[in-house]
Amino acid sequence: MKNSYLVSNTTRVLIVDDDVFARDYIQKLLDMTGIQHIHKAKDGGEALNVLRGIDVDVVLLDIHMEPVNGLEFLKAVRTGQAGVRRDLPVIVLTSTGDERMLGSALAFDCDGFLLKPSSQHAVAEKIWAALVPVQPVVRAPQAYQVIPTNLTENVNDTSPQEKPLPNHTVTVRWDELEPGNVLARDIRTSRGNTLLTAGTSLTQHLISRLGELSDLTGFEFVVIKNTAYV
C-alpha cells in the first residue's frame, strides 16, 4: 500500500462517532493497517476530554452527534478554546446525506473527507495525506468564530445565481484551479447547498478538499475572477 508505513506503529488516531458499530468498524480497518494507538469517543465533548489527556496525530470525526456535534468540536479546536493544538489534523467522516454541513467543515479547514463506509486502503491514504508535512493551514482564531455549527439550520439556497456572469471571469474545471484563484460565484452542490462563497481566495488546501467533494456533491465547474483584470 502506498506510503502505508507513515500511518503504522506510532501513529495515534482518535475516532469520534456516536455509532458504536461505526467506531468498531473503523478500528478494525486501522488495526489492519498496522496502527496500534487507537482511541475512541462517542461525541465531540468526550473527544475534547480525551485530547486534554493524550496527544494524537489525527482525528477521524463524525458530524451528527449529541450533545456536542462534530462542527462544534472543530470550532473548539480551531479557535483554541479546546486547549489543544489548533492545527490538529481532522478528517471528516461523511455520507451522501451530509451535504448541508460540508461547507462548514470546509470553512473550519478540515484535512480531508472520508466517505462511510470506506476501505482499509482509503482510510490509510486519507490519514497519510493529512500527516504529510505542509504549510500550516489554520487561520487566526477569530476567523472561525462566525462559522455556523447548528446542524438543524436550513442552509439550502436553491435560488439561481445572478446572471449574466460578472465581468472579467473565467469558468474552469475544479482540477484546473490554482492557489490564489478567487471565486467569482459561490460553489454549490447539485442540491443547492453552498460549499464556498464568492470572494473566497483559494489555497491548495481548499482545492484538495474540493477535489474530494466533486464526485460526492455533483459540481464540476467553478467560476473564478480572471487574474488578468484583477
106 and 175, same structural domain? no
Model confidence at 84, in pLDDT bands (50, 70, 90)? very high
Any domain includes 67 = yes
Domain of 93, CATH number, reads 3.40.50.2300
Residue 223 burial by CB count (10 A; 0-12/13-18/19+): exposed, middle or buried?
Answer: middle
Of 146, 154, 123, 137, give the one whose Cα is nearest residue 207.
137
pLDDT at 138: 87
Any domain includes 101 = yes
Q: How many domains does the chain have?
A: 2
187 and 129, same structural domain? no
pLDDT at 59: 98
Number of other residues whose CB lies within 10 A of the CB of residue 36:
13
Any domain includes 161 = no
Any domain includes 157 = no
Mean pLDDT, residues 94-121: 87
CA-CA distances (angstroms) from residue 154 to 18, 55, 100, 124?
Answer: 23, 36, 8, 34
Residue 62 pLDDT exceeds 60: yes
Q: Among 112, 133, 154, where does a domain finish?
A: 133
Any domain includes 164 = no
pLDDT at 154: 44
Residue 182 pLDDT exceeds 90: yes
pLDDT, mean over the chain: 86
Q: How many residues does the chain have?
A: 230
Any domain includes 35 = yes
Find the domain containing 57 and state its range.
4-133
pLDDT in tens, 131-159: 886 666 788 999 999 898 987 754 445 45
